[in-house]
Amino acid sequence: MENLNVTIALPPKLAYALSELAESQNITFSTLVRTVLEQHLRQEEEVEIKKQAAQEQNDQEKRKYARKQVAVPTAIRFKTGGSIDEGQIEMVNISLGGALLSLPASHPLLKEMVNHPETFDLVITLPEEKNPVSFTSKASRVKKNRDKVQIGVSFDEYSYYDFIKLYNFLG
């Protein structure tokens, strides 16, 4: 981007103080203003990074169960009909309390999953298990980026046997 000339209306006392400061540092007034603005932007970026780190730390502390990074075949069956089949959805991680899923942002059933509070069945095929396990789940967190949407789901209901299978898988 090319340099841009900007006119700023400053109160006389502030203009005088900045002029004196620039002169004392042997720099031009415009260099001083640019330096102040750049420092402010860096501080804002640092604050944003710290906020994100604090939020991630807070999210980690909220979790009851440790998450396991895993890619297992996963499907969703909606109570109202319709489904998202294996291959259209990616499991990012899973715990005893829920899972993080990733879907293409353009998936036609994504809005139904996020905008309707009804539960759905999350069907997971665990390694070394003949039959998939099923957990009645609901979307609890949504994070969008350009072409993918990550959805945090919480497990609401499940059979004892499916819970034990997941427990053994997570080790």
Are 134 and 94 within one domain? yes
Residue 162 belongs to some domain of the structure? yes
Residue 121 CB contacts under 8 Å (≥ 6 apart), including other chains:
76, 77, 79, 134, 135, 136, 137
* Same domain membership, residue 107 and residue 48: no
**Does 159 lie in the same domain as 125?**
yes
* In a shared domain, residues 54 and 75: no
Residues 103 and 36 in one domain: no
Reply yes or no on whether the pLDDT at 57 is more than 80: no
Most confident option among 47-56, 63-72, 120-129: 120-129
Q: Are strands 68-69 and 83-84 parallel, antiparallel or unpaired?
A: unpaired
Confidence bin at 62 (pLDDT 50/70/90): low
Same domain, 108 and 34: no
For the segment 140-155, the average pLDDT, to the nearest whole number, is 87
Structure tokens at 118: 């009804």
Residue that terminates a domain, selected from 42, 62, 82: 62
Q: How far apart are CA 22 and CA 13, in angstroms?
A: 14
Q: What is the pLDDT of residue 59?
A: 66
Strands 98-104 and 148-158: antiparallel
Residue-level pLDDT at 71 = 83
In a domain? residue 5: no
User: Helices (DSSP H) in 63-152: which residue ranges?
Assistant: 110-115
Position 143 pLDDT exceeds 60: yes
Provide, rounded to the nearest whole percent, the portion of the chain with pLDDT above 90.
Answer: 27
Kindly state the tokens that stand for 69.
């990074």
Q: What's residue 58's pLDDT?
A: 63
Confidence (pLDDT) at 94: 92
Tally of domains within the chain: 2
Residue 3 lies in a domain: no
Which tops the pLDDT comparison, 100 or 113?
A: 100
With cut-offs at 50, 70 and 90, classify the pLDDT of residue 1. Answer: low
Q: Are residues 86 and 108 in the same domain?
A: yes
Is pLDDT above 60 for 93? yes
My answer on whether 73 and 152 are in the same domain is yes
Question: What is each CA distance from 84 to 19, 100, 119, in whole angstroms?
Answer: 64, 15, 14
Q: In whole numbers, what is the pLDDT of the chain averaged over residues?
A: 85
Do 56 and 88 fall into the same domain? no
Q: In what order do the strands lie in the sheet containing 148-158?
A: 68-69, 90-94, 98-104, 148-158, 133-144, 120-124, 74-78, 83-84
Domain that holds residue 106: 68-170
